[in-house]
Chain A
Amino acid sequence: MSLKDLLTPFTAWKNVFEDSYVVKDPFNDRPGADRYRGFHKNDISECIGCGTCEEICENKAIDLVPVEGIDTKDGDSGLRPRVDYGRCCWCALCVDVCTTNSLSLSNEYTWVSEDPEDFRFIPGVDKKPWDDNEKGWKKPEGEYNFYEPERVHMEHLEPEARDNSFIEMVKGFSKEQAQKEADRCVECGICVATCPAHMGIPEYIKAVRQDDIEQGFKILYETNPLPEICGRICTHKCETVCSVGHNGDPLSIRWLKRYIADQVDSEDYKKVLGTENIEKNDRKVAIIGAGPAGLSAAHYLALAGYNCTIFEKLPEAGGMMRYGIPEYRLPYDQLDKDINYIKSLGVEIKYNTSVGKDILLNDLKREYDAVFAGTGLHLGRSTRIPGTDHEQVYMAADLLREISLGNEIPLAEKIVVIGGGNVAMDITRSIARLQNKKYGKVDVTATSLESEDIMPADREEVVEAREEKAIVDPGWGPEKIEIEEGKLKGLHVKKCLSVFDEAGRFSPTFDEENHKFFPADMIVESIGQGADLSYISDDIRDNIEFNERGRMVVNEYFQSKAEWLFVGGDIIQGPDVIHGIANGHQAARGIDKYLNGDLKYKSE
């Protein structure tokens, strides 16, 4: 035993004179650190109730509950996360995975309450003192992501390669690309409500991820009998609400659908879908128009055993999908792949048969048990500005149809297209290709009333049109067409300030001082199409309700007041393919009910 060992412990006495280490007022003097993981905050105006927070929570501490004042609408489930702090472990995985960046944790850690129920609340809705705290755990932006925010690049033909050809320009995903893209999905299902056909989007994306193509294909056909077509030209409204798109690119839902459909050979369709033996019944349904609505209705009716006959005015099936959409977006062989399968289910298509001329609607009523009309919008609308009656002024729908039929269309060296929708882009880009072929240069200008940010066309259509050297100059209202000595000279326009009034009605205002002149030898109008309902004879017409805008009125099963007649597609809703498909499907359900005596036009 050394003396040192006996004495040194006593040196601790010198600490007697030190201050004690105490935080006197922790509520004020000791805020949590900048990254502290305290109670939740939620910016409920940003939150879309996608539920990924609930999904990743390992403690099941989060419920998604409806909140008063937040409506369920496209892209927002109307639900908000409620946190049960009896279970929360403050790991903040919910924050890191949040698709909208709305969820965060505050640095509040001192809050207490005597009532245990207080420890379960909806952050952001139930007001808390820390709602305005700036500090706390936030999603580490730019440092890491729990899912890939950027979409897998879809390869396109280079603009030079596609300038003068109608070869399909989107190449489609490889298996690796598709799985990588499918991996980005968070499976929230927000998109399903927005899809007019309510397709099982998360489910088929999951099938891609798990490389179970057959399962994915079955899911597609549950709600959509035209997947090859929709996988190419669908307006993909689902992608506009995709939760992943809030912080990054939305999922390429359309391309994934195309990927699944591309993987299945036509010969295997029946085997994969289990439709090799369908029990037929003896009832007959007539369908007018082989467009998406008619084909969709025929498909689901055929599956239910009905004998369907489609009457098609034109020499081939597909409607606007064939005669409105250029081949570089939707190759005819892919169109035929979908249509041939529907035909193989026993659906008969009578081509070159115009109802109203070659056969009367009343004959169909007599010979068939029910009729579905999906005749679409094929009559081009005119701006009716002075000069539109000139022979060098054409309708986009007519030209597109002629191109598809393989006929030569009139083609000037300098063309102006009026319109800013997808059809306008289609004709602009088709003209660009044809001009390139014929003259070796492109000189086509598309101008629309709507300014660039509110143009109805898909963004990529505009971008690609420009890549193909077409000029897109939006935001101009057409005034008149300049004609000199019977020769078309060009289009006068004035600056458009706004298109809709405050109530959202179409009511354009113009800057009368700001004019512009587009020189042209030929003008194409593409501002929308109207329906040709001349095949509905007057006696039938009297039995049908029309609304004030001249549209037919139908019930939720697309049944008209004349109960044997069902109507759907562009003439009722849309215009686009996916609405047509959804309408056809729903009408098929309705016809089935009607023929079984379960459906009246108005349920009493």
Chain B
Amino acid sequence: MDKIIKDLTSRFKVTDYIQQRPNMAYVTVQKELAISLITHMRDIEGFTHFVLLTAVDWIEDNLFQLTYILNSPDKKVDLGIRVMIDRENPTMDSAHHLWQQVATYQRELKEMFGIDFPGSPRVDESFILEGWDDIPPYRRDFDTLKYAEETYFPRDGRGSNDPAEYMKKKLYPDEEK
């Protein structure tokens, strides 16, 4: 694994290398080099099994993190590849030509995070959320609780008390802070 990483560092300028466990590592790569890195891993290093593609919303840094996890069935090691992309105008090169299954992941990311993958088959078709007209719901700024409160109605008669506040109300109501 070390050898691979050393090679990747020189060829693809990967950074933030973390060895999570002996057979699993994570690296970060620039957006422009990501697809060639993934292709390299698949064709040269034998990471032929595509495990998953997902996104993490780092709203405070204005970034989306895309994580590609690749697996080498022969060497039995995993490599997680992180790609940081701008949150304002999120687009990423598609990888569907490497694995046909990736189109599904990209379609979901488009819908749930609003990340575009130009050229990916059916990327604009709705996947899970038919008829959704709010912001992409897996973004951090989409508040599920608020949405639920606005969309559904609470059951009558629910309501709780905080023990400390309730005790203050009962035992020493007049004391101000």
Q: Do A and B bind each other?
A: yes
**Nearest CB of B to A237, in Å:** 13
Q: Name which residue of chain B comes closest to A51, CB basis.
A: B163
CB–CB A84/B155 < 8 A:
yes
CB–CB A72/B172 < 8 A:
no
Chain B residues whose C-beta falls within 8 Å of the C-beta of A202 in the assembled complex: 164
Chain B residues whose C-beta falls within 8 Å of the C-beta of A65 in the assembled complex: 159-161
CB–CB A192/B160 < 8 A:
no
Answer whether residue A348 sits at the interface, using C-beta atoms and an 8 A cutoff.
no
A72 touching B170 in the complex, CB below 8 Å, given contacts A86-B155, A198-B175: yes
Q: Name which residue of chain A comes closest to B177, CB basis.
A: A222
A64 touching B163 in the complex, CB below 8 Å, given contacts A120-B157, A193-B168: yes
Q: Bin chain B's interface residue count.
A: 20 to 34
Answer whether residue A246 sits at the interface, using C-beta atoms and an 8 A cutoff.
no
CB–CB B159/A189 < 8 A:
no
**Nearest CB of A to B163, in Å:** 4
A63 touching B158 in the complex, CB below 8 Å, given contacts A72-B170, A192-B168, A589-B176: yes
Q: Name which residue of chain A comes closest to B160, CB basis.
A: A63
CA distance A351 to B65 in the complex (A): 67
CA distance A255 to B49 in the complex (A): 55
CB–CB A193/B158 < 8 A:
no
Per-position 1/0 for A425-444, Cβ under 8 A of B: 00000000000000000000
CA distance A432 to B101 in the complex (A): 82
CA distance A50 to B161 in the complex (A): 11
**Nearest CB of A to B96, in Å:** 37
Q: Name which residue of chain A comes closest to B159, CB basis.
A: A63
**Nearest CB of A to B149, in Å:** 12
CB–CB A72/B167 < 8 A:
yes
**Nearest CB of B to A46, in Å:** 16
Could you tell me which residues of chain B, from 123 to 177, have a CB within 8 Å of some CB in chain A? 155, 157-168, 170-172, 174-177
Per-position 1/0 for A30-71, Cβ under 8 A of B: 000000000000000000011100100000001111100000
CA distance A84 to B155 in the complex (A): 10
> Closest 5 A-B residue pairs measured CB to CB?
A189-B164, A77-B163, A72-B170, A63-B160, A193-B167
- CB pairs A–B below 8 angstroms (5 shown): A63-B161, A77-B167, A78-B167, A189-B165, A556-B174
Q: Give 15 A-B pairs besides A64-B166, A189-B165, A192-B168 with Cβ atoms closer than 8 angstroms.
A: A51-B163, A63-B158, A64-B163, A66-B161, A72-B170, A77-B163, A77-B166, A77-B167, A79-B161, A84-B155, A86-B155, A120-B155, A189-B163, A193-B164, A222-B177
